[in-house]
Amino acid sequence: MSPMPGRTRRIIAAIATLAFLAFYIWLATVVADALPDSFWMDLIFYPVAGTLWGVPLIPLLKWAQRG
The model's pLDDT over 18-65, given as tens digits with 9 standing for 90+, comes to: 999 999 999 999 999 999 999 999 999 999 999 999 999 999 999 999
DSSP 8-state assignment for residue 35: S
CB atoms within 10 A of CB 52: 11
Residue among 61, 59, 33, 57 at smallest CA distance from 46: 33
In 3D space, the residue among 21, 19, 26, 28 whose CA is nearest the CA of residue 48 turns out to be 28
pTM of the complete model beyond 0.85: no
How many residues belong to the chain? 67
pLDDT at 67: 64
CA 48 to chain centre: 13
